[in-house]
Every structure is written in structure tokens, then in C-alpha cells.
Amino acid sequence: MTYAPCHIIAVIPTPADGETGPLGYSDPVFSDTETSEKIQASGILQLFASLLTPQSSCTAKVANIIAEVAKNEFMRIPCVDAGLISPLVQLLNSKDQEVLLHTGRALGNVCYDSHEGRSAVDQAGGAQIVIDRLRSLCSSADPASEKLLTVFCGMLMNYSNENDSLQAQLINMGVIPTLVTLLGIHCHNSALTEMCLVAFGNLAELESSKEQFASTNIAEELVRLFKKQVEHDKREMIFEVLAPLAENDAIKLQLVEAGLVECLLEIVQEKVDSDKEDDIAELKTASDLMVLLLLGDESMQKLFEGGKGSVFQRVLSWIPSNNHQLQLAGALAIANFARNDGNCIHMVDSGIVEKLMDLLDRHVEDGNVTVQHAALSALRNLAIPVVNKAKMLSAGVTETVLKFLKSEMPPVQFKLLGTLRMLIDAQAEAAEQLGKNVKLVERLVEWCEAKDHAGVMGESNRLLSALIRHSKSKDVIKTIVQSGGIKHLVTMATSEHVIMQNEALVALALIAALELGTAEKDLESAKLVQILHRLLTDERTAPEIKYNSMVLTCALMGSESLHKEVQDLAFLDVVSKLRSHENKSVSQQASLTEQRLTVGS
């Protein structure tokens, strides 16, 4: 049995002067369209390249002009074509802070949303020089250096924004540890902090970045920064970084150890009764992130603390809440805590099943689908340990779950089926009771044809099979035959999944052993014998499938018509060949089957 975890863009940098995208820091003398057009028409851009030298007294002014005109989208390619990028990149080695400031702005603006600009900077090796400058300036706390650091960060973001290959290049150059160090040293500088956060948000989307992030103290820095924020917008920026980072299990644990969960719980407590749009959004973000942290095995177990942890208890209190978002997060959290036998057993003994049943009862009529799905997910996981099944059955879980049979939502149907299948595993009485429930069986047969929803179709077939296998009841078989379920079990025997093939073959063998007369016509019309022949002759068929196919073939000999089909298809020849099969169980069963077919012929 497997415990199922339950789940629930690139951002254009905003420079310190409030502009979006192109980097500011100067009066936009040349940034209006008309002036830029005149500059382009005059051919002056071509002259700028010769002025961009360390020796020139007007270098800073020229770089500033380029930065301003490049704020206009139509001027970026002309700047590249005029050969300005290579001399600008060389100026990054300058010791003059004003030159560095305007050079960084010029390169950043030329790169903004411009493939040509980025390619030119890439070819000139600009990214590596900027990263080296960030490292050398990192410890400088004077305002001029911080302004320069902000511009360089912005330039790298414009260079790599929404470009996976350039972002990967920056990661390989080691930009992440540098930016994390920057954040730690300059967390008092809001402009630089925001630029770092935007950079993290972009880079964190790449899977290749996660390992590098995990090797830094990013979790500690982000949590420390988060604790200082009171404004919704600032918290939201941090959330946008935390969400992709928290997809990594190592970082999940680091965030938990850094105290993020306590921050999230505090936000939930603050915002739960608010009807303000921002507060509702923040409540959702915080509770969703909480659930995400629980997807990691180590982080989850650390927060569970043997079922006595304060975090676990707080999350538990969300389930009876009147807030749908908290109900959802609470149920998902329980589902994620329920990922090993020890946790599941403790939670069932602690009365969590009753809380989940109460929650589901509140969502039967016109209920919240996501809450239904989450609560059923939790019950499904809790039902996996053998010792929990009888307790959950006696608590009335099946009755609660069956209330959702009328649901037309595939995610709810899927979890409903999975929960029932887990509950009846090796529980004969419960399997028989459910298997004689005509409404349930008819719904299962209907869902077995849900070709648009493979998960629902597969789970319906598996539950039909499970009802027979665990009950071994003639009444259950009769109910399934009368509801038209036989053809689906035969089709299931051809599944691409070996486990489903096996389950189908065992169920069909029980049908043949217990109620062959009742099922005979349906087995014929479903072409069972032809399918068995195909399974036995196909060399790709798994040994256990060949074995169970022969067991089923023997069981069919009690039917005159099916026996004749077996004879007509020369099963004896096929089975005789299997006596030399490399799998001992298959070869032994082949000998037994050969004897049975010989006697019956």
C-alpha cells in the first residue's frame, strides 16, 4: 500500500526608482520617443562606441545617454547594431562608480525584453563580470555601493528574465550564494532586498537551482526577513520565493527549522476572521505553504512530533473551522501527516477520523469539492494500516463516504473509491456488505466506463475486484453479475498494469469457482477464453499473470460452453510448452493445468 501525498513566473524586476523593467536613476532626458528617434536618425549611436573608454572624460555621460534611450524598446536593437555592447561590458571593469552605475543601467535596459541585447551581453561575457563585481562589492555598506549593487542585480534579472538557458548560466556561475550573502548583509536596504527577492523568484523556478539554494542559508535569511515585514506586498514577494523553494525536500526541512511554520500559523490566526481581500489571499497563501512543507517526509515528521507537536495540534483545530480554506488546508495537512503507519495509528486512536467525518457531513449537499477531496484523501491514507481498518469501519466511515456516491466530480469519485478499497482490504464482512449494495455496484459499473477519467475507471475496476476477492461471497458475485460488472473485470485482465491484471484474474477465478453458472454467459460474451489464450501465448506476459491465467482456465472447465472454447483454441498445446518455463511456479501450474485439460477432454 502506498501513502499518497496531497498537493494543492518570472517577474519583471522593479527598480528602486519605481520604474518597471528599464533601470532608472537619472532624469529621463532622452527617454521620450521623439528624442530617441532623432538620436537614431542622426547616426550618433555609432559614434558612442569610440567614446566608451576609461580614458574619456565623457564616458559616464555617454553610458547614461545609452541607458536612457534604451528605455525605449525600439532603440535596443540599434544600440546592439551600433556595437555598443562590447565597450559597455569592458567598462564594467572600471573603478569609477558613476561609470559603473550608468554602464550597469545601460546594459540592463538594452537586455530588457530583448533577445538581441541579451545575446550581445552574453557573447561579450558581461554576466560573469557583473557577478564578480557583486562579490567584490558585497560587503560594502555605503549608499553608493548599495545603489550599484541594486543596479547590477537588476541588470542580471533583465538579462535572464524568463530565459531558462541564461538563468541556468547564472546558476552555474554561482550567482545564488552571492545573492544570498547580499540579502543577509543588506537586508536593511529595501530596494536591494526587493531586487534579490525578484532574482530568487526567477531562479527558483529552475529545478537545477534547488540544490544550490539548499547549500546556502537562504531559508534562515528569508524567514528572518519575513518576520520583519508587516506590509502585505512585502510578504507577498517573499511568499513568491518561498513557494518554489519549498518544493525541494531539503529546503522544506531548513524552512521548518528556521521557524517559518510559526510565522505561517501566526498569519492564519491574524487573518482568519478578516473579510479583506488581501487578508483572505494571505491566509490562503500561508495555509497552502504550510501544506507544501508537509510534503517532505523529514519536515512532516519533525512537525508531527509523535502527534504531540503544537503545530500538529494547531492544524488539527482548522478542520472544525467555518473557513473553507482552513478546512481544506487542515484536511490536506492530516492527509500528509498520514504517510506512515505510526502516524496513522496514532491519529485514528486520537479521534481524527470522527473530525474528518463531521467535516464531510458538512459538505454533502452542494459542498466544497476541494474540501471533499482533501478529507477523503486523509481517510484513504488513514485506512492503510491493518489495525485501523476495523476501527474506521466501526466508526461508520463507509456510511459517510457512500454519501458522496452521487458526486459527479472525478477527483471526489477517485478518492471515494480509493478509500473504500483500502477499508475493505482483508475485511470480509465489510466487503460483503458493500458488495451487496446494489446502488454502489451499479455506480461502479457506470464509472468503469469513464474513459475520460482513467483514474476513476481504474479505481472502479479495482474496487469491483476487491469486493469479490475479500468477501468470497456468492451474493456479492450475483450482484456484480446482475449489474453488468463481469465484462469490466475481463477487460481489466488486459490492463497494462500487472497488479490490476492479477486482481482481475483472481476475482474471475473466484467467480468461476463459486458462481460459474450465473456468470457463464457474461464470461462468454466478454471473450474471456480468447483473452486467456492471448495472455498465455504472449511471451511478454508476466509469470504471475501466466500462473493465474492457468488457474482461471482450470476453474472454467465446469462450464460446457467455456470448456469447448478452451478445446477449440488448443490450450493443451500452449500449456504443454509452459511446462518448461523458467519460472518454477508457472511450470508446476502448467503441469497441473495440462492434467486438468487432459482429463476434461
Q: How confident is the model over 295-311, as pLDDT tens digits? A: 999 999 999 988 888 88
Half-sphere exposure of 256 (CA within 13 A, CB side): 27
Give the mean pLDDT of the chain.
Answer: 90
Contact present, 378 and 422 (Cβ < 8 Å): no
Separation between Cα atoms, residue 447 and residue 279, nearest integer Å? 41
DSSP of 208-266: HHHHHHHTTTHHHHHHHHHHH--SHHHHHHHHHHHHHHTTSHHHHHHHHHTTHHHHHHH
Separation between Cα atoms, residue 372 and residue 441, nearest integer Å? 21
Instruction: Identify the CA nearest to 456 among candidates 414, 402, 422, 491.
Output: 414
Domain boundaries, the chain: 443-515, 527-600
Rg of the chain (C-alpha set): 33
pLDDT tens column, 125-177 = 999 999 999 999 999 889 999 999 999 999 999 999 889 999 999 999 999 99
Instruction: Please tell me the predicted confidence (pLDDT) of residue 6.
Output: 56
Separation between Cα atoms, residue 403 and residue 11, nearest integer Å? 45
pLDDT tens column, 485-538 = 999 999 999 999 999 999 999 999 999 999 999 999 999 999 999 999 999 999
pLDDT at position 405 over 90:
yes
pTM: 0.83
Please give the share of the chain, as a percent, with pLDDT higher than 70: 94
Instruction: Identify the CA nearest to 155 among candidates 204, 103, 193, 202.
Output: 103
Average pLDDT over residues 422-434: 95
What letter does residue 597 receive in the DSSP assignment? H
Instruction: Please tell me the predicted confidence (pLDDT) of residue 15.
Output: 35
Contact present, 284 and 327 (Cβ < 8 Å): no
Contact present, 181 and 138 (Cβ < 8 Å): yes
Output phi, psi for 556, to 5 deg: -80, -10
Average pLDDT over residues 216-230: 92
Contact present, 110 and 70 (Cβ < 8 Å): yes
Average pLDDT over residues 249-278: 93
Instruction: Name which residue leads in pLDDT, 19 or 87.
Output: 87
DSSP of 345-366: HHHHHTTHHHHHHHHHHTTTTT
Instruction: Name which residue leads in pLDDT, 43 or 286.
Output: 286
Instruction: Please tell me the predicted confidence (pLDDT) of residue 450.
Output: 84
pLDDT tens column, 115-136 = 999 999 999 999 999 999 999 9
